[in-house]
């Protein structure tokens, strides 16, 4: 009788304690690429020639990389989704420069690839260098462009913490995190729940504030692939430059600098 009880309970234990299909002993890591500006002329270190960006996409496709949505990678890292396919890579762009619409977006459409934009709303439809709300609506409407927060006006939190009294600083941080989400939600009718830290600056207090403001993931500028061993509120990204072409780009994609 005891033996029968044992065999009866084993299948039930397997059901109650089953690990999801994606629960693997070997964690998968994914390079998240970070861009800022594009154009025919490289005016600063943050600009990538439009033709170079096209060549980088071609390189990825030619070498078997699959460009996947950022949200899929975040779901995996949070433990609520399956692992992305082997050789996955993510493309993100920060700030909201006009060239994202004029130079990057046509290539996004041509190659039909998903990208995520991290936007600070204070500049949109106001600064001469920035995107407009209508342009963001067009890109969002394509189904290829996901739009997320880069705080409200891209502050340097280290400088602001030194400059402001503690209570004033806390209110300032809350405003930057909450007002950005609210403005993007209002203008675009979207759900914003991811954040790119301005200048890659973060600490435990900022992470607590971002979590309280409703963010489920946040991103830095640490040059490493992202995986389940990373803090979901401080996920690394590779800053891509105009020099990251061919074998140089390949080396970046296969290097774990941590």
* CATH number, position 115: 3.20.20.370
* Of 157, 93, 153, 92, the residue nearest 123 (C-alpha): 153
| Of the listed ranges 18-22, 91-95, 166-170, 198-202, the one predicted with least confidence | 18-22
Distance, in Å, from the CA atom of 155 to the CA atom of 152, rounded to the nearest integer, reads: 8
DSSP-derived pairing of the beta strands 37-39 and 47-49: parallel
Residue 165 falls inside a structural domain? yes
Average pLDDT over residues 217-235: 96
In a domain, 20, yes or no: no
Per-residue pLDDT at 40 = 94
Smallest CA-to-CA distance from 120 within 230, 198, 219 is with 198
Q: Is 90 part of a structural domain of the chain?
A: yes
Asked if residues 156 and 173 have their Cβ atoms less than 8 Å apart, the reply is no
Average pLDDT, the chain: 90
Between helices 246-253 and 50-62, what is the axis angle to 10°? 60
Domain of 190 in residue numbering reads as 27-253
Residue 22 in domain: no
pLDDT (0 to 100) of residue 25: 44
Q: What is the token pair recorded at 215?
A: 């963010």
Distance CA 115, CA 63 (A): 19
Q: Do β-strands 66-67 and 47-49 pair in parallel, antiparallel, or remain unpaired?
A: unpaired
Residue 190 has pLDDT above 90, yes or no: yes
Place of tokens 């005016």: 43
Which one is predicted more confidently, 112 or 8? 112
Asked whether residue 21 is assigned to any structural domain, the reply reads no
| Helix (H/G/I), strand (E/B), else coil: 110 | helix
**4 inside domain:** no
CA distance 168 to 160: 10
Q: Is 216 within a domain?
A: yes
For residue 38, what is the enclosing H or E element?
strand 37-39
Please report which helix (H) or strand (E) contains residue 220, including its range.
none
How many structural domains is the chain composed of?
A: 1
CA 219/CA 189 separation, integer angstroms: 23
Say which DSSP state 25 is in.
Answer: S
Q: How far apart are CA 29 and CA 32, in angstroms?
A: 10
The answer to whether position 213 is within a domain reads: yes
β-bridge mates for residue 37, sequence order: 47
pLDDT grade, residue 247 (50/70/90)?
confident
Residue 235: which of 14, 29, 22, 35 has the closest Cα?
29
pLDDT score of 65 more than 90: yes
């Amino acid at each position: 009788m005891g033996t029968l009880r044992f065999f009866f309970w084993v299948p039930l234990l397997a059901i109650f304690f089953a690990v999801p299909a994606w629960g693997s002993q070997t964690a998968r890591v994914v390079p998240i690429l970070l861009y800022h500006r594009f154009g025919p002329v490289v005016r600063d270190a943050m600009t990538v020639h439009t033709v170079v960006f096209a060549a980088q996409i071609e390189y990825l496709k030619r070498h078997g990389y699959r460009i996947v949505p950022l949200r899929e990678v975040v779901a995996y890292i949070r433990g609520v989704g399956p692992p992305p396919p082997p050789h996955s890579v993510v493309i993100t762009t920060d700030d909201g420069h006009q060239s994202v619409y004029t130079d990057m977006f046509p290539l996004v459409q041509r190659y039909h690839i998903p990208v995520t934009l991290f936007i600070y709303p204070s500049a949109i439809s106001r600064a001469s260098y920035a995107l407009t709300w209508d342009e963001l609506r067009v890109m969002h409407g394509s189904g290829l462009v996901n739009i997320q927060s880069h705080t409200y006006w891209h502050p340097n939190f280290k400088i602001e913490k030194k400059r402001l009294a503690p209570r004033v600083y806390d209110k300032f941080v809350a405003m930057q995190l909450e007002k950005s989400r609210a403005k993007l939600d209002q203008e675009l009718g979207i759900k914003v729940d991811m954040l790119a830290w301005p200048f890659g600056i973060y600490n435990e207090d900022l992470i607590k504030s971002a979590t309280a403001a409703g963010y489920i993931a946040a991103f830095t500028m640490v040059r490493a692939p992202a995986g389940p061993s990373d803090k979901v509120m401080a996920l690394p990204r590779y800053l891509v430059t105009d020099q990251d072409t061919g074998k140089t780009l390949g080396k970046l994609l296969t290097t774990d600098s941590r």
